Amino acid sequence: MKAVRMHESGGVDKLIYEDAPDPVLAANEVLVRVKACALNHLEVWVTSMPAGATFPKPRITGSDVAGVVEAVGDAVSGIEVGSKVMLQPGVSCGICPACLAGLDNQCPSYTILGAVMQPTAWDGGFAELVKAPPANIIPMPENLSFEEAASIPLVFVTAWHMLVTRAALQRGETVLVNAAGSGVGVAATRVAKLLGARVIASAGSDAKLEKAKALGADAVINYNTSDLAQEALSLTDGKGVDVVFEHIGGDIFQKSVQALGRNGRLVTCGATAGPLASFGIMPFFVRQQTFLGSYMGTKSELLQTMPYFRSGQLRAVVDRAYPLSEAQAAVRQLASRDVFGKIVVVP
């Protein structure tokens, strides 16, 4: 098969499009012919690793896959060759107490398809073929293209887990969605509007904010030209927002805390602008606010979103599709932040 593999670290040019061995299918595995694979910030991180970083080599990245079932192992039942499918990106053991409780994203052995640094991780979808456990196979809604389907799993399960499970966002509440032009920001806007919330979208460019409005954002803030906290307070008559959807970190995290209202909840899943932030402790406890960490989401949560994609109430946004052979260019565009929604590669 053709694949994009990393044999060493040290930059985007280390993503090499080349011939690679077909995956060897075990009895309890499913082989999928990849039709589209969406990028995530994971690809930016792994290509930013310094030269000499150690990881299992060669490794194939790419966590979000849509395709067609090519073959099934002898021990697999209920999955038909030729079926259009998506892959749940989180892989868990299925037998630990967390998995048995339906909390597979808390499994001690939890990993993500294409996670380069994890020795036990499965190869990802930057290839013509990828294998996965049967539990990670999800039927693809027939009304979606492969590019749209690949743009769903990681960001929508993350946004659903953050807003529905962790923050318990309610109809009529106001949520501040930071970096609303990113893949997970688009997903958060879609999910929040589905739940009946008022959405204030923030981004670093007016062009992205216009697109966020088209998705349903009720108000927007350019955090490069305005004070995020002051604008959010102004848009809520000084009360502050009920929920902040955060995944940037750094100064934006600090401003987001200042934008949070009484009994507000800040939920975060990332720190793309920096892992450290400072905030005032006294307002935090006086206003009885809550900070919530969130990591990915469960298989059952991703399945919960599927009826909304079938009905058209939820939709992914594809910014651009590249041929798999141009994976380097795809990652460079994502790293430049000149993107709204998802970038995908197509074998």
Q: Residue 44 has what DSSP assignment?
A: H
The per-residue pLDDT for 277 is: 84
1 and 125 in contact (C-beta within 8 Å)?
A: no
Q: Residue 77 has what DSSP assignment?
A: -
Candidates 266, 193, 207, 203; CA nearest to 231 is 203
The per-residue pLDDT for 320 is: 97
Query: Angle 299-300-301 (CA atoms, 0-180°, nearest 5)?
Result: 90
Q: Encoding tokens for residue 172?
A: 């009529």
330 and 321 in contact (C-beta within 8 Å)?
A: no
Q: Encoding tokens for residue 339?
A: 């993107």
Q: How far is CA 149 from CA 165, 179, 195, 210, in A?
A: 23, 22, 21, 24
The per-residue pLDDT for 23 is: 96
Catalogue all structural domains in the chain, each as residue range(s) with its CATH number: 2-152+316-346 (3.90.180.10), 156-293 (3.90.180.10)
Candidates 166, 170, 186; CA nearest to 178 is 186
The per-residue pLDDT for 278 is: 84
Candidates 258, 250, 262, 335; CA nearest to 48 is 335
pTM exceeds 0.85:
yes
The per-residue pLDDT for 64 is: 97
pLDDT along the chain (347 residues), means of 10: 95 97 96 98 90 89 97 97 97 96 95 83 94 97 98 98 98 98 97 98 97 97 97 98 96 95 97 85 93 96 98 97 98 96 98
Q: Which residues pair with 344 in a beta bridge?
A: 38, 321
Beta strand spans in the chain (E): 2-6, 15-19, 30-38, 64-72, 84-87, 90-91, 111-112, 129-132, 137-139, 174-177, 198-203, 219-222, 241-246, 260-268, 290-293, 318-323, 342-346
The per-residue pLDDT for 72 is: 98
161 and 89 in contact (C-beta within 8 Å)?
A: no
CA distance 202 to 48: 26
